[in-house]
Structure 1
Amino acid sequence: MDCGGLDIGGTKIEARLFDAGLGTIDTRRVPTPRDSADGFFAALGGLVGWLRDRSGTDLPIGIAMSGVVEPDSGIARTANLPISGENMAARLTEVAGRPLPVMNDSMALAFSEANGGAADGHAAAVGMIIGTGFAAGVCLDGRPARRPGGIAVEIGHCGMPARALARHGLDLWTCGCGRPGCIEAYVAGPGLTRLAAHMGLGKITAPELAARAHEAAAEAVLAVWADLAAEALETLQMTIDPEIVVLGGGVSQMPGVVERLQAALPARLMPGTPLPILRLARHGDASGVRGAALLARMTAQGEMPWRP
């Protein structure tokens, strides 16, 4: 059975058509409309139409997006898209003819990688996106963990431990959510850029920083970043205790990022705490949209016992 997925980010929406084996048949991308909910849902409707035309069938289609959809009300809550407060089922019915299953993008990453990906066969798997934002999702025995509020593992909006800030002489930086000291403010891509500026390198992106890792100043920034990211991993390990953490997102594509985190994490863990396996997403930047398509197919087949 063909299936489709929509991966909604702050800058683009990607539609991807998959075959029965979850191999990619075709993709299409459009800029994410940010001025109004009407424009946003019109763009979704256009991509749903493209998937149906390309497949030739009214195929199952799932959505991965940042933020949450409240399970009982169906109301979207997201800081990066112009749809907070919108009823997803009602609006999707307007543009697609029926509701479409919606999953947080970090949960979609975890779901994809736990089913034919880097976390396949692991009972407790976390998918962690390190990109413009910083968030995670969790799957148990290959299925998204049930959460009454629909919240993913929003570790990026937990507070960075004071001990970590003190180690590196860092102040409370304001997060995009408006609160001070969130982990995301230091570890996500913009946080890494801000860290580099704070340490005297000026405004520099993660890829540019990685390309200069042979320089002592750039290496010092990356070492501090890895230590701060390890604090976030320690929080995950002490609360969820995953066997494996799969990394996705643009920052995870820096050369050697897994090795850096593997080296930094033991010093942050309490003695005796098991180290999780760290791996890059097997399906790369297509993993989230693959998870959304898998959700749609399993929902259509009656294999999902609850809304993720």
Structure 2
Amino acid sequence: MHRIGIDLGGTKIEAIALDGDGRECMRKRVPTPQADYVATVATIVALVRDVEAELGVSASVGIGTPGAPSTRDGRMKNANSTCLIGQPLKLDLEAALDRPVRIQNDANCFAVSEATDGAAAGAHVVFGVIVGTGVGGGIVIDGRPLTGANAIGGEWGHNPLSGEDEPRPCYCGRLGCVETWLSGPGMAADHLKVTGQSLDARAIADAAAGGDAAAEATLQRYEARLARALATVINILDPDVIVLGGGLSQLSRLYEHVPRLWVPHIFSDTISTRLVPPMHGDSSGVRGAAWLWPLGETS
């Protein structure tokens, strides 16, 4: 059985094909049509058809998307690719491809990938974290994503960050969301406010590595906030492993500093939760979409 995973991003749509043993057979990416839902559906369908034609197989299809299908009517919600909002993406793709399709939030797909054959393989409960341009999360239990009753399982990025008084506005319409502090733009905003310097997250990290005291202080504030935010997740979910993804996951210091900083905030005398970097990096989302169809499942 072959599996095709599709990662529907804002600028590109990527497809991957895995064989029955989970080995990558091929990969292909095309630009995402901008602000055009009908063209987006047609592009995904054509991508699946091209992959199947090249491999000479018919495959299951899993899709990782921004946002998620609503549990009320199946139409897309919470997508920063706004042309998807309110659209019956799953139904339209199933009709065009003439087969069942599975759709999950892209953060859930990241978590599925790392829980299946990545950095958290074999773990009972996995929390996958995306810290990049935005902040997202996904929960996987025994290899399966936990969508939740409202299709918002793992959406920690839109909870308020404890210990902060500044009411930062978030694109979701709320104030003080975790995303406004722990995304790359959130780190840059914090650095700008304190220092008056306009640097992105990568430049801040480079400056800190070069001995810049102000940049180092920004990273330390970031680490303390990340530790508090993840401690809340641990207190509620108690995962075996937390895997970081997104651009900020490349900061190797996080894996040493954050577990030390989260200790005072966790309601336990021992803490066994591991914080680890991703094994599959930027490929985790598209791999996780393919793994939405576990071994032996065809419908």
Tell me if both proteins adopt one fold, taking TM over 0.5 as the criterion: yes
Q: Distance in 2 between matches of 1:93 and 1:102?
A: 11
Q: Distance in 2 between matches of 1:298 and 1:152?
A: 23
Equivalent residue in structure 1 for 2:245, among 224, 243, 248:
248
Amino acid paired to 2:205: A
Deviations 1:73-117 (A, max 9, x none): 221113311111111232213543334110111211222222222
Shift of 1:26: 2.3
Show the counterpart of 1:279: 276
1:83 aligns with 2:90: no
Show the counterpart of 1:264: 261
Show the counterpart of 1:13: 13
Amino acid paired to 2:263: P
Identity of aligned residues (%): 34
Give SS of 1:60's match: strand
Shift of 1:127: 0.9
Q: Distance in 1 between matches of 2:58 and 2:36?
A: 27
Equivalent residue in structure 2 for 1:204, among 180, 193, 199:
199
Q: Distance in 1 between matches of 2:262 and 2:294?
A: 37
Deviates more, 1:250-259 or 1:219-228: 250-259
Amino acid paired to 2:184: G
Q: Distance in 2 between matches of 1:63 and 1:151?
A: 17
Show the counterpart of 2:48: 48
Shift of 1:295: 1.3
Give SS of 2:59's match: coil
Shift of 1:39: 2.2
Shift of 1:174: 0.9
Show the counterpart of 2:236: 239
Write out aligned runs for 1:1-308 (5 A): 1-71=1-71, 73-81=73-81, 82-145=83-146, 147-161=148-162, 163=163, 165-166=164-165, 171-200=166-195, 202-213=197-208, 214-270=211-267, 272=269, 274-296=271-293, 298=295, 300-301=297-298
Shift of 1:11: 2.7
Show the counterpart of 1:306: none
Amino acid paired to 1:12: K
Deviations 1:130-163 (A, max 9, x none): 11211111122222235222222110000111x2
Whether the 8 Å contact between 1:266 and 1:275 is mirrored in structure 2 is no
Measured at CA, do residues 119 and 90 of structure 1 come closer, stay the same or move farther in structure 2, by a change above 3 Å?
Answer: same
Shift of 1:278: 0.4
Amino acid paired to 2:115: A
Shift of 1:268: 3.1
Amino acid paired to 2:66: S
Whether the 8 Å contact between 1:2 and 1:55 is mirrored in structure 2 is no
Whether the 8 Å contact between 1:174 and 1:181 is mirrored in structure 2 is yes
Give SS of 1:218's match: helix
Shift of 1:202: 2.4
Shift of 1:201: 5.4
Amino acid paired to 2:187: L
Whether the 8 Å contact between 1:172 and 1:180 is mirrored in structure 2 is yes
Q: Distance in 2 between matches of 1:77 and 1:273?
A: 39
Measured at CA, do residues 140 and 28 of structure 1 come closer, stay the same or move farther in structure 2, by a change above 3 Å?
Answer: same
Give SS of 1:151's match: coil
Q: Distance in 2 between matches of 1:150 and 1:134?
A: 17
Q: Distance in 1 between matches of 2:201 and 2:19?
A: 34
Whether the 8 Å contact between 1:174 and 1:180 is mirrored in structure 2 is yes
Amino acid paired to 1:155: W
Q: Distance in 2 between matches of 1:267 and 1:122?
A: 25
Amino acid paired to 1:109: F
Shift of 1:300: 4.0
What TM-score results when the alignment is normalised by the length of structure 1?
0.89
Whether the 8 Å contact between 1:130 and 1:249 is mirrored in structure 2 is yes
Runs of at least 5 residues in structure 1 that lack an aligned partner in the other structure: 303-308
Shift of 1:216: 0.9
Show the counterpart of 1:305: none
Q: How many residues align?
A: 296
What TM-score results when the alignment is normalised by the length of structure 2?
0.91
Q: Distance in 1 between matches of 2:180 and 2:272?
A: 25
Which stretches of structure 1, 4 residues or longer, exceed 6 Å deviation after superposition? none
Amino acid paired to 1:59: A
Q: Distance in 2 between matches of 1:221 and 1:207?
A: 12
Measured at CA, do residues 66 and 4 of structure 1 come closer, stay the same or move farther in structure 2, by a change above 3 Å?
Answer: same
Whether the 8 Å contact between 2:90 and 2:103 is mirrored in structure 1 is no
Give SS of 2:282's match: helix
